[in-house]
Amino acid sequence: MQLAHHAAAVRAATAGGGSVLVPTMGGLHAGHLSLVRQARRLADTVIVSIYVNPLQFGANEDFSLYPRRLQQDCDRLQGLADIVYAPADSEMYPDTQTVGITLPPLAEQFCGKSRPGFFQGVAVVVCKLFNQCRPDAAIFGRKDYQQAILVRLMTRQLNMGVHIDLQPIVRADDGLALSSRNEYLDADERRRAPRLYAALRQAAAQLQQGERDYDMITAAASAALNADGFQMDYFAIRAAADLGMPPSDGSDLTILAAATLGTTRLIDNLTLTADGALI
Ligand code: AMP
């Protein structure tokens, strides 16, 4: 496995083509590793990028706290990845970034509402990584479902020629979606954190039983989570394809939620497919 700090080194190593990129911010856990395993199924050369992108953090967010441990991440990737691309800031942002990507209104909703500029920052860094590494495909987790929808849209509408592959959420045994931010939780918060997923499951069960009053379902879930000490950001039911308004017949829905527990922001989602499967 090669550790590259410059895009030119990644391109030299992938000159024959046929690479797949897994973009991450590091703090790697089993969720990231499942994406890397999927990358291996799709291509001979697997690139994992590790970069904590300053452009996607707000002024009062956890940029300086965010886990940074390249050596441990590299150890976890041994035998799974071919290239770890850990660029320096100067490689990613040679200038103050004045060029941006305009995203559709979805980028201002849900996570974009409470984190202004977040998805624009993500779009710019993903575009840079694609231009630098020139992969055939990139793997994203359903954990950040809104992000995945927007990245897919950007890639298609800007003809980037990178196939976007989405992978299921990897969870702890108690249901909590794995996240680099879970390590901010203290013991009591960690014990209560799986209730977010439990609320998604409860909402999904109501939908499966034929309940179609989406407002009632989401209001009840928010109230229950509030009572459990979560500060709710949103709990919503949307069309899975584009996170637009949900079809009234209850097919292909995504239930998405974000809440703060203590000081830790947690997000999660659950998709109910047309054939009744939960992903
Ligand atoms: P991050 O390092 O948090 O920016 O995440 C990098 C990629 O890993 C994104 O595509 C995430 O959606 C994905 N990811 C993070 N946590 C999980 C998880 N628990 N299961 C599956 N994918 C995940």
Nearest atom within ligand 1 for CA of residue 180 = 3
Q: Rounded to an integer, what distance in angstroms lies between the CA atom of residue 167 and that of residue 179?
A: 15
Q: Side chain identity at 185, as an amino acid letter?
A: L
DSSP β-ladder status, 163-167 and 83-85 = unpaired
Best substitution site from 80, 143, 165 to test ligand 1's pocket, by max atoms within 8 Å of Cβ?
A: 143
Using the structure block, give the residue that is written with the tokens 């919503």. Answer: 236
Nearest atom within ligand 1 for CA of residue 32 = 8
210 CA to middle of ligand 1, Å?
Answer: 31
189 CA to middle of ligand 1, Å?
Answer: 21
The question of whether 32 is a catalytic residue gets the answer yes
pLDDT score recorded for residue 16: 86
Closest CA to ligand 1's atom 7: 24
Tokens at residue 176, please?
Answer: 């909590």
Closest CA to ligand 1's atom 17: 31
203 CA to middle of ligand 1, Å?
Answer: 23
Which residues, judged by CB distance below 6 Å to any ligand atom, belong to the binding site of ligand 1? 24-25, 31-32, 34-35, 140-141, 143-144, 167, 169-170, 177-180
Best substitution site from 70, 130, 144 to test ligand 1's pocket, by max atoms within 8 Å of Cβ?
A: 144
Backbone angles phi, psi at 131, to 5 degrees: -65, -35
Q: Report helix, strand or coil for 179.
A: coil
Nearest atom within ligand 1 for CA of residue 35 = 22
DSSP alpha helix (H) spans, the chain: 7-13, 30-42, 70-77, 89-92, 111-114, 118-133, 145-157, 187-192, 195-208, 214-227
16 CA to middle of ligand 1, Å?
Answer: 28
51 CA to middle of ligand 1, Å?
Answer: 13
Closest CA to ligand 1's atom 5: 24
- Angle 149-152-153 (CA atoms, 0-180°, nearest 5)? 85
Picking from 167, 173, 185, the residue whose alpha carbon sits closest to that of residue 266 is: 185
213 CA to middle of ligand 1, Å?
Answer: 31
Best substitution site from 35, 146, 178 to test ligand 1's pocket, by max atoms within 8 Å of Cβ?
A: 35
Nearest atom within ligand 1 for CA of residue 171 = 19
Nearest atom within ligand 1 for CA of residue 144 = 12
Print pLDDT tens along the chain (279 aa): 999 999 999 999 999 889 999 999 999 999 999 999 999 999 999 999 999 999 999 999 999 999 999 999 999 999 999 999 999 999 999 999 999 999 999 999 999 999 999 999 999 999 999 999 999 999 999 999 999 999 999 999 999 999 999 999 999 999 999 999 999 999 999 999 999 999 999 999 999 999 999 999 999 999 999 999 999 999 999 999 999 999 888 789 999 999 999 999 999 999 999 888 999
3-state helix, strand, coil in the chain (%, to 5): 40, 20, 40
Tokens at residue 7, please?
Answer: 């895009």
pLDDT score recorded for residue 106: 98
Q: What is the pTM of this model?
A: 0.97
pLDDT score recorded for residue 105: 98
